[in-house]
A = this chain, B = another copy of it.
């Protein structure tokens, strides 16, 4: 391809939008352009990268036995109603009506559609398992778009859905897909950490994100020092270190307390003991049952609402209590008791058993309680893991510290279990014994544009992108300086017929302009023809400063070592 003919040439200067390197460089290099906020044109150069990423994913998914297909973009909204997702993801979902008034969701994720396709067939246990996937446009009406391709409102996602007879067979595929994902990202030069995460509106019991370490990532997680455990803070499990179990259990007392003692800081000043010695209560309302839930945790911890929701089977249904809610259980803000409010359900964190002689728990206007001990003085309906892990906590087995990490989520895998098949009528297969059973399911996503931006974040320098060979838009950037026209054409033909894609800068521009553009665009190999070089080519890798003069045969040989 002659650069003079390419639509979407390089531009210089700040390109507006975010300050992320990937965004700036992808726009400057002529890879992408914004249409409206969060929606991008992929220009020919950018689309080549995007499609290389697609090809790698497709190759590995096919090799793993998955089957590509496609679902329509417009999902009948009644399908989303079957699974009740119109309410749980409503704010991100875009809805469109056709001329007859029928409502459709613009696909944001396709679980319902795929189950709908599958239930249209008479599936027997003999047909299972299968894993079907697509590359399709996904729409998310995000509140804020950000960072070029990192968080957008429209993007191509590879989304796969697997159907199984049972959890055991699913687990095999889940592990398999994790391995496949590592291979996929490895091939693009991305090291990923497999991070436990919350299933959120997708449903199911567990899932993992594939996260690429990056200071600009939105995905924060905790990892053990040796890297064997990684989880989002809102699902991370951790060891509740005993605080003072060696202290003797003292007698429960209600004591006077100055009125100024209100906050945790006030308590620390007043009693002179650290945060872990106080009881913290957080009140929620269950939007489904209208119940009041009081979560009780050790004072140095925070309630993890997501864990709490899972514990009481109320995913997406807890809201912070209002003053009116507090009134319903006969109290007000700041004076919530760790026990005793009629009509409230008490859920406690496992950390409540790590402290002897808590302070607080039933604060009134001028009194408070001290020497409060779990089991003796109060008990919760459930004692479970409902606290937020923090950096510095120990791993669940106590062997290592958790450290905070940050990165970009490029993929995810979800256990769905029976979440969809039980909600959607007819999502069953005929088992060996002739009975109908619901499918056990999983799903697996990769965002292509975000992956592309992540590669650019990881592989660039001050002058531009440094594409890994596996995703480069062209194999060779051929810079033709004056006086070598015939030879350049010969080089182009030779490389082209050897199967290499060559971007040939044939413009009548100065060497400086051409070299700058080559650095900005970031093709792994730059070759320069010039009068001075004669029948030799100057070979330069984008990721190195060394230059060598090679003849054409040597160039072809050396290319095979890079692109094999």
Contact = CB atoms under 8 A, between A and B. Distances in A.
Interface of A: 1, 4-9, 11, 33, 35-36, 39-44, 46-48, 50-51, 65, 67-74, 76, 91, 94-96, 98-99, 102, 104, 106, 113, 116-118, 120-121, 126-127, 130, 132, 137, 139, 141, 143, 153-154, 507
B47 A69 contact: yes
A133 to B, nearest CB: 10
B96 A41 contact: no
Nearest to A132: B7
Given A47-B68, A67-B7, A73 B73 contact: yes
A95 B94 contact: no
Contacts of A36: 72, 74, 76, 102, 104
Contacts of A42: 69-70
Given A40-B72, A41-B71, 14 more contacts: A1-B67, A6-B67, A7-B67, A8-B69, A9-B127, A35-B72, A36-B104, A39-B72, A43-B69, A44-B69, A47-B70, A48-B68, A73-B137, A137-B137
Contacts of A141: 98-99
Closest 8 CB pairs of A and B: A44-B67, A39-B72, A96-B96, A42-B70, A7-B130, A41-B117, A35-B72, A47-B69
Given A74-B154, A95-B96, A117 B35 contact: yes
A98 B68 CA distance: 30
A202 to B, nearest CB: 21
Nearest to A120: B33
A113 B121 CA distance: 39
20 contacts: A7-B118, A8-B69, A8-B121, A11-B121, A35-B72, A35-B76, A35-B116, A35-B117, A36-B72, A39-B72, A43-B69, A44-B67, A47-B69, A47-B70, A51-B68, A74-B139, A94-B96, A96-B106, A98-B141, A126-B507
Contact of A65 (B5, B40, B71, B95): B5
A41 B99 contact: no
Contact of A9 (B95, B121, B132): B121
B71 A130 contact: no
Nearest to A68: B47
B96 A68 contact: no
A51 B36 CA distance: 30
Nearest to A72: B39
Nearest to A42: B70
Given A69-B47, A117-B41, A121-B9, A99 B35 contact: no
A98 B132 CA distance: 30
Contacts of A106: 96
A178 to B, nearest CB: 21
A428 B2 CA distance: 22
A153 B102 CA distance: 13
B67 A41 contact: no
Contacts of A51: 68
Given A41-B117, A43-B117, A117-B41, A154 B72 contact: yes
Contacts of A7: 67, 69, 118, 121, 127, 130, 132
A426 to B, nearest CB: 14
A62 to B, nearest CB: 9
A219 B294 CA distance: 69
Contact of A126 (B4, B74, B98): B4
A72 B153 CA distance: 10
Contacts of A43: 69, 117
A9 B94 CA distance: 33
Identify the interface centre among A7, A70, A99: most chain B CB within 10 Å of its CB: A7
A42 B132 CA distance: 11
A99 B47 contact: no
Nearest to A62: B1
Nearest to A137: B73
A149 B50 CA distance: 28
